[in-house]
Structure 1
Amino acid sequence: MKLLLTSAGVKNPSIETALVGLLGKPIAESTALCIPTAQYAHPWVGPGEKPWQFISGRSDGMVGLGWKSMGVLELTALPSIDQDLWVPKVREADALLVAGGDVLYLSHWMRESGLADLLPTLDTVWVGLSAGSMVMTPRVGDDFVQWRPPTGGDETLGLVDFFICPHVNGDDVPGNTRAEAEQWAAGIEGPAYAVDDDTAFVVVDGQLEIVSEGRWTLIHE
């Protein structure tokens, strides 16, 4: 599994170049599945209009990048259908495009659906947006808890060993402020990054590279 963990999608040429490098071919020759699940549980997002905007490619630099083909993978539906209906489609896809929203809701349904267990076996690019990126970290911290899983904790998948505070775009710009990021980081043990929407993380075989045309900060290690 190759990871492109973004704050707000493929927002600039540098992040797009990183995506093409992970795919190993142009986006126009690559197939993808989009995952809107995280949007449903977030009070600012969905369900309703926002998931449709994501799926239709009208809302971000993800689905509308000009892929060869696009499908939808709805995680809440997967536990009720045979794995033979969806696992081959995931294995065949060049990329999984994962919407933002509620990270703990996304983490819960990744586990419930079986996708979390499948990920280590895939030769696929995971392209996360906000919560779709944070789900790969060990936990999200209390500041990002909205929906609570049955376990009651804030643990996520832990496929990377660092933590992400997205949308730190400046105090006068929509998103998280630097003060809010530092407050969040105070409750996190381990490498904690505050990143703006022009920054992304590339992780391949455990090796981290930061790609940015904006600003990012390692608040603490």
Structure 2
Amino acid sequence: MKFLLTSAGIKNPSLLTALVDLLGKPISEASALCIPTAIYPFPGGPGMAHRFISGLTSSPMCELGWKSLGVLELTALPSIDKAYWTAAVQEADALLVYGGDIHYLCRWMRESGLADLLPSLRETVYVGISAGSMVTAPVFGETYDDPKRPFVIDQGLGLVDFALLPHLDHERHPESSTVNVARMAAEVPVPTYGIDDQTAIKVLDGTVEVVSEGRWRLFAPAS
């Protein structure tokens, strides 16, 4: 797969250029499936899912002018003929994976069967937002309720070989202060990128590139 792992969607021209480069064609000629699953466990989750799909959030993604846009709801996939949803995924140029509860997203990535399919999608662009980006890592850490609590370290999907924590030093995300990201990075065995909302990690043919009009930092794993 190709990856564009964002903190908060396509927020600036550099990130838009990176997305078009990975697609290999204009967005207006590309098809996408959006995946809102991670947001449902949050208060007001169904409404937030609708706003994401409708392009009404502060995280630009679904509203970018895709040739076609569909919804892939992971919790529904086990009850659907696998051949049908697999074909839809294989035909899409991009998967737009929304943020929310990373543990819930990781669970349904696996239980739906999508996690097993993703490595075979050589030309598909995986575009993540927040938890949708974090879940691609071999391991991830997070705490939403109290930034002073120890991070919950868990196994991710291992689609990339680094970890990522979004919303670096964002005033509404105290858990993502530089100090806390450094603390988490010391607990995981792979390099960790802390990225702000103007930054993304682009991965093409195994080459990792930071695309940014903001701030980011790479933390080495503890020895």
Structure 2 counterpart SS, 1:33: strand
Instruction: State the shift of 1:186 in Å.
Output: 2.4
Contact 2:141 2:153 in 1 (8 A): no
Q: Indicate the residue corresponding to 1:69 in structure 2.
A: 68
Contact 1:145 1:154 in 2 (8 A): no
2:160 is equivalent to residue 135 of structure 1: no
Letter in 2 for 1:74: E
Q: Indicate the residue corresponding to 1:5 in structure 2.
A: 5
Q: Distance in 2 between matches of 1:120 and 1:135?
A: 14
Contact 2:37 2:98 in 1 (8 A): yes
Instruction: State the shift of 1:112 in Å.
Output: 0.8
Q: Indicate the residue corresponding to 2:98 in structure 1.
A: 99
Q: Indicate the residue corresponding to 2:55 in structure 1.
A: 57
The alignment's TM-score, normalised by the length of structure 1, stands at 0.90
2:48 is equivalent to residue 47 of structure 1: no
Letter in 2 for 1:34: C
Q: Distance in 2 between matches of 1:187 and 1:220?
A: 11
Letter in 1 for 2:116: D
Q: Distance in 2 between matches of 1:160 and 1:153?
A: 17
List alignment gaps of at least 5 residues for structure 1.
147-151
Q: Residues 87-132 of structure 1: CA distance to partner in whole angstroms, max 9, x if unpaired? A: 1111111101000001121111111111111111112100000011
Q: Residues 127-160 of structure 1: CA distance to partner in whole angstroms, max 9, x if unpaired? A: 00001101100111253699xxxxx971110111
Letter in 2 for 1:139: V
Contact 1:101 1:130 in 2 (8 A): yes
2:86 is equivalent to residue 83 of structure 1: no
Aligned-pair RMSD on alpha carbons?
A: 1.9
State the percentage of identical aligned residues: 58
Q: Indicate the residue corresponding to 1:220 in structure 2.
A: 220
Runs of at least 4 residues off by over 4 Å: none
Structure 2 counterpart SS, 1:65: coil
Instruction: State the shift of 1:40 in Å.
Output: 1.1
Q: Distance in 2 between matches of 1:164 and 1:130?
A: 9
Aligned pair count? 212
Instruction: State the shift of 1:207 in Å.
Output: 1.2
Q: Distance in 2 between matches of 1:32 and 1:153?
A: 31
Q: Distance in 1 between matches of 2:73 and 2:197?
A: 25
Q: Distance in 1 between matches of 2:207 and 2:2?
A: 10
Q: Distance in 2 between matches of 1:88 and 1:26?
A: 22
Q: 1:3 to 1:132 in 2, by over 3 A?
A: same
Q: Indicate the residue corresponding to 1:118 in structure 2.
A: 117
Instruction: State the shift of 1:42 in Å.
Output: 3.5
Q: Distance in 1 between matches of 2:40 and 2:141?
A: 20
Instruction: State the shift of 1:188 in Å.
Output: 1.7
Instruction: State the shift of 1:84 in Å.
Output: 2.0
